[in-house]
Structure 1
């Protein structure tokens, strides 16, 4: 069957206008994001772009069934069960953008996977989020959102102890092993790199905003402008990670998006701020009297608390993800909620009442923003539909609270089991995406479990 129009809504006119505006660009990264959020695809030449917009691009179905190492996971059902046949990827409208600082000049465009008849391929994470957005729209609600991006800048070489070490300032090579939290002067040493990150974001149409020095040596946070389209917010986060990684590499340092790269310091989160608009564009989370919370925000909190345990694999998808959760680490350890309180999992930030929102804090920066956002929206929908009471607010130390909170897994293996058996998560992600994601995670767990690490030898070689 030959499609006469792109099922994604992309148009040839968009590509033609872009080529006319950017005669210098010679090639394009065409990028599809898999279950782990890894960008997979191809680099095509300038003359191939219009053909891509006219007819899509054939890609093997197995590209969405790969583990973190890029190896096939047969249990996804996407490899030989399907004969590893081709499906067709199409451009995502509005994601065609120039890249900053590339030689020769290149552009980039995101794509989504469809079958040959134009139906969404439901193991594509972006489709999982699109599905929740459409379900919420049918209920008269439209999510607005922004992610926060935390990351480390590390030296390319390990330290004398074999562990990672903070990058030296790119301005003058000055080292620092201090936490430097909120130090403005410390930021100045990385200004050449940060300037290129902002330039790359601007070229891509992303409103990157505040940069801070975070709570660990070499750790930083970059915030993003709030979007009225949560799909665009997730696209922003995906693209910004690629920009940060590329510009860090160009400046001779490594951008690290592991959840916990340094054992004695805080890990990196990917907090999601979300609110709901009605058909008239009004924020339904806003209370009539400040501090007397609206029923929608309370029920949304209730749904997120009730579903957090079975969803933790989405928020903490890797072995390293679970090292981030520790008391007094600024990472939540139980599904608590509170106001202006960074020790809880679900925070209502202080600020203008008209900007009332929930800050969802469990996800690590190593998680897939499409799947995180899809799961958060599904949790909110669950709470609204069943009018779930969130329970009492945590008003003090959230690490000392939470005894009466719904249970959550304590490790990666428990999270995999919880996710595999979760009807909620099957509905949140869609059955095919759920099968793909949990199969990949189970395969990765088996890889880690059978690996003999240096810790094993250090603890046991001469002692047992």
Structure 2
């Protein structure tokens, strides 16, 4: 069975032009981002690219029902319930790029999954973000988004105890043992990697801007320019993670995107910057009479009101919850404030005309499509219902007036009972995601760790 071509599939002319421009590329990574944020797919040969653009490519629906390790989760309903039926993948317009760090150089094309009749496959996380953007567009509102990426660069090999360590500084070979936050000298030590990163980003038309030495040995941050196309902002983030990971391997390092890879060092966030524009591009969050615009205030109120329901999306894994702690930059309550990095919802200082909000709760291990969809749904609810935010926090605040889930298990329970999350992601996407996380929770709950045995084994 062939599939009905969806209206927004990339035109075949895009592939024809790319092949003409890159006659030496023989293979292409066909990439689908699953609910866990994992890039899945296959490598296709050059002669298979035009048929993909012309007729799509069948993929099993179960590819969206895998846990992080790639094992089927039957409870998603995507495996045995329909006989592991095929859906059809269609290329995303503008996603065809080179992978300049590969040798010989390959290309990449990202795809979305559809039902055979051309309708959206509702368990595809990118489709969840499409739904929210279309919801805003119906009211002549257009999300302007940008992500920040925090991550660790680690040595390719673990230490003698089998533990990961921060990557050595490439130019001197010295171990990285201190945080050196905002250190320009440390960045200079990574000049070969950083230079290759910026060149690769330019080749992929990725708007990568600032790189920062962050708050722990081996931790760094990359910022991306705001995109008037909210989908493109999430696309930028998944592409940048692939770029950093692939490039790090070729420079003798590993890129780590866990939310909390080291107990005694800072966790890694994936902060989302957001505003809304009208059809002319005017910023609707810009200050009014030297104060916050009512629309921005209501957006903050909506995000506060929905944060408890959203925490499984922002902190999807067991490790995610190790990032949250008091007196840290990982917020433990739905606070907001101006020019205050300790809150969950920050209004950064700066030009009043460029005013926006920064959502600081998501970890770098979250799926950017689901994060953006959930944040936009909270903004939408706040604006539609004119929800006013709680009192502003001007210093560190561990406000407990609105209770967030205390751990991963509680977040799963909260998400399962949430009508808001079903509305934000679509009922099927929400159900698939919760089923994946319940399966993951069962796995870890059944494991007896080395630390557990050492703690209890010879004592009780």
Q: TM-score, normalised by structure 2?
A: 0.98
Q: CA deviation at 1:361?
A: 0.4
Find the aligned partners of 2:87 and 2:284 in 1 and give their Cα distance. Answer: 40
Alignment of 1:153 with 2:149, yes or no, is no
Q: CA deviation at 1:176?
A: 1.8
Verify the 8 A CA contact 1:8 1:90 in the aligned structure 2: no
Q: CA deviation at 1:403?
A: 2.9
Q: Give the corresponding residue for 1:429.
A: 425
May I ask how many residue pairs the two structures share in their alignment? 460
Q: Give the corresponding residue for 2:448.
A: 452
Find the aligned partners of 1:126 and 1:154 in 2 and give their Cα distance. Answer: 30
Verify the 8 A CA contact 1:88 1:115 in the aligned structure 2: yes
**CA distances 1:88-110 after superposition (whole Å, capped 9, x unpaired):** 00000001001112111100011
Find the aligned partners of 2:80 and 2:2 in 1 and give their Cα distance. Answer: 25
Q: SS of 2:227's equivalent?
A: coil
Find the aligned partners of 2:65 and 2:151 in 1 and give their Cα distance. Answer: 27
Q: Give the corresponding residue for 2:92.
A: 92
Alignment of 1:50 with 2:50, yes or no, is yes
Q: Give the corresponding residue for 1:297.
A: 296
Q: Which one is further off, 277-286 or 54-63?
A: 277-286
Alignment of 1:403 with 2:400, yes or no, is yes
Q: Give the corresponding residue for 1:414.
A: 410
Q: Give the corresponding residue for 1:68.
A: 68
Alignment of 1:334 with 2:330, yes or no, is no
Alignment of 1:141 with 2:167, yes or no, is no
Alignment of 1:248 with 2:216, yes or no, is no
Q: CA deviation at 1:3?
A: 5.1
Find the aligned partners of 1:418 and 1:7 in 2 and give their Cα distance. Answer: 36
Find the aligned partners of 1:329 and 1:262 in 2 and give their Cα distance. Answer: 14
**CA distances 1:336-360 after superposition (whole Å, capped 9, x unpaired):** 0000101000000001111110100
Q: CA deviation at 1:199?
A: 1.5
**CA distances 1:59-117 after superposition (whole Å, capped 9, x unpaired):** 00100000011000111111110110111000000010011121111000110000111
Alignment of 1:306 with 2:302, yes or no, is no
Q: CA deviation at 1:10?
A: 0.8
Verify the 8 A CA contact 2:330 2:360 in the aligned structure 1: yes
Verify the 8 A CA contact 1:7 1:90 in the aligned structure 2: no
Q: CA deviation at 1:163?
A: 2.6
Q: CA deviation at 1:384?
A: 0.7
Find the aligned partners of 1:217 and 1:393 in 2 and give their Cα distance. Answer: 33
Alignment of 1:442 with 2:438, yes or no, is yes
Verify the 8 A CA contact 2:4 2:118 in the aligned structure 1: no
Q: SS of 2:150's equivalent?
A: strand
Verify the 8 A CA contact 1:6 1:53 in the aligned structure 2: no
Q: Give the corresponding residue for 2:18.
A: 18
Q: TM-score, normalised by structure 1?
A: 0.97
Find the aligned partners of 2:421 and 2:312 in 1 and give their Cα distance. Answer: 10
Verify the 8 A CA contact 2:336 2:343 in the aligned structure 1: yes
Verify the 8 A CA contact 1:7 1:119 in the aligned structure 2: no
Q: SS of 2:81's equivalent?
A: helix
**CA distances 1:126-175 after superposition (whole Å, capped 9, x unpaired):** 00000000011112210001000000001122234443211002223221
Find the aligned partners of 1:450 and 1:4 in 2 and give their Cα distance. Answer: 44
Q: CA deviation at 1:18?
A: 0.6
Q: SS of 1:111's equivalent?
A: strand
**CA distances 1:10-49 after superposition (whole Å, capped 9, x unpaired):** 1000000111111111110010010001011010011110
Find the aligned partners of 2:2 and 2:77 in 1 and give their Cα distance. Answer: 26
Alignment of 1:378 with 2:368, yes or no, is no
Verify the 8 A CA contact 1:6 1:56 in the aligned structure 2: no
Verify the 8 A CA contact 2:156 2:249 in the aligned structure 1: no
Q: Give the corresponding residue for 2:353.
A: 354
When the two chains are superposed, the root-mean-square deviation of aligned CA atoms in Å is 1.1
Find the aligned partners of 2:391 and 2:294 in 1 and give their Cα distance. Answer: 14
**CA distances 1:325-381 after superposition (whole Å, capped 9, x unpaired):** 011221111000000101000000001111110100000000000000000000000
Q: Give the corresponding residue for 2:28.
A: 28
**CA distances 1:390-410 after superposition (whole Å, capped 9, x unpaired):** 0110011124xx132x11101
Verify the 8 A CA contact 1:10 1:53 in the aligned structure 2: yes
Find the aligned partners of 1:450 and 1:222 in 2 and give their Cα distance. Answer: 37
Find the aligned partners of 1:111 and 1:164 in 2 and give their Cα distance. Answer: 34
Q: CA deviation at 1:51?
A: 0.4
Q: SS of 1:80's equivalent?
A: coil
